[in-house]
Amino acid sequence: MACRSSLLLSFLSRSSKICSKRKLTQIIPIQSNPFNNVSTMKLHVLPISANSHGPLAIVKHLNLHTVQIIDAMGKTRTPEFIAMNPAHCCPTLQFLDGSAIWESSAVMRCLCNIFDTKGELYPSDAEKKGKIDMVIDWRNSSFYPDLFHIVYMMFGVDVDEDQAKVQFKKLMDNTFLNGKKFCFSDTPTIADLSVAPLITLLKGRKKFWATVPDGIKEYYERVLEAFPGMMEYVKLLDDKAVNYDGPGADAEP
């Protein structure tokens, strides 16, 4: 309980700094925005992690040379990292003053709010933004948790094989596309960068992947084609999944 309390207090102590920073970037004219011309941010990532692939795609797609990409593999438990992010997770977006935000959805929104001035990946239109947020909430509250027993055996975690089958059947539903090429959209957004990278993980179970509907596989390929800059990172996870031959690799769905 004490650990959770200290984590919460640490989070709260950072929140006021972060909120004030975000408000500042929203009201400063683009030509004088301090984030435009100097390297003021560091994006700490785990290159193989699907959770890092969305933020990496944004940095590459928008050509954000002012955002330095930091490989945090093996460093998230160091005193320096925990001082910045007590949740010791990636991706983490670190600001010039040392404060930071984490969780992939928050990081993607922040990057877009600062740099995506045309609203290409995260539109300003309230209805479009609402649909994107809805997909991201679904991803975080349903899709991602349901992947646990399906994919985490690849990372040495004990999983329930019966539960994996139940969760897989639940996930094989592409209604989030709503007849569109992308999630409720004809063009790719951060909703797709939230969902699609996770699909790579399904390749760890060969017979499960074989039964994934063509519509979902085609959607997955469209997203990868739309963001070629993240492919070097996606390939790391794809190679791990495709070559996985441990428990559950050949299980029937």
DSSP tally for the chain: helices H, then strands E: 12, 4
Q: What residue type is 111 in one-letter code?
A: L
Q: Which of 56 and 12 is assigned the larger pLDDT?
A: 56
pTM for the complete prediction?
0.84
**Upstream peptide bond of 247 is cis (omega within 30 degrees of 0):** no
The CATH fold of domain 126-242: Glutathione S-transferase Yfyf (Class Pi); Chain A, domain 2 (1.20.1050)
Angstrom CA distances, 217 to 36, 154, 202, stand at 37, 21, 11
pLDDT of residue 250: 97
116-120 contacts at long range (C-beta below 8 A, 24 or more positions apart): 116/58, 116/62, 117/30, 120/187
- In the predicted structure, residue 3 carries a pLDDT above the cut 50: no
Are the C-beta atoms of 14 and 7 separated by less than 8 Å?
no
Are the C-beta atoms of 66 and 35 separated by less than 8 Å?
yes
pLDDT of residue 197: 98
- In the predicted structure, residue 18 carries a pLDDT above the cut 60: no
Structure tokens at 157: 């975690």
The matching CATH number, chosen from 1.20.1050.10, 3.40.50.720, 3.60.20.10, 3.40.30.10, for 2-115 is 3.40.30.10
Phi, psi of 190 (to 5 degrees): -70, -15
Q: What is the mean pLDDT of residues 218-228?
A: 97
Count CB neighbours of 36 within 10 A: 16
Q: What residue type is 186 in one-letter code?
A: D
In the chain, residues under CATH classification 3.40.30.10 are 2-115
- In the predicted structure, residue 216 carries a pLDDT above the cut 50: yes
Report d(CA 191, CA 33) in Å as an integer. Answer: 26
Report d(CA 126, CA 243) in Å as an integer. Answer: 43
Are the C-beta atoms of 116 and 103 separated by less than 8 Å?
no
In the chain, residues under CATH classification 1.20.1050.10 are 126-242
Reported confidence tier of residue 65, pLDDT bands at 50, 70, 90 = very high
Phi, psi of 22 (to 5 degrees): -65, -40
Report d(CA 124, CA 131) in Å as an integer. Answer: 12
Reported confidence tier of residue 136, pLDDT bands at 50, 70, 90 = very high
138-181 residue pLDDT tens: 999 999 999 999 999 999 999 999 999 999 988 886 567 778 99
Q: What residue type is 173 in one-letter code?
A: D
pLDDT of residue 177: 77
Reported confidence tier of residue 41, pLDDT bands at 50, 70, 90 = very high
Relative to beta strand 67-71, strand 92-94 is unpaired
Q: At what angle do helices 190-199 and 104-115 cross, to 10 degrees?
A: 140
73-121 residue pLDDT tens: 999 999 999 999 999 999 999 999 999 999 999 999 999 999 999 999 9
Structure tokens at 89: 């997770």
pLDDT of residue 171: 85
Structure tokens at 14: 């950072």
Are the C-beta atoms of 67 and 57 separated by less than 8 Å?
no
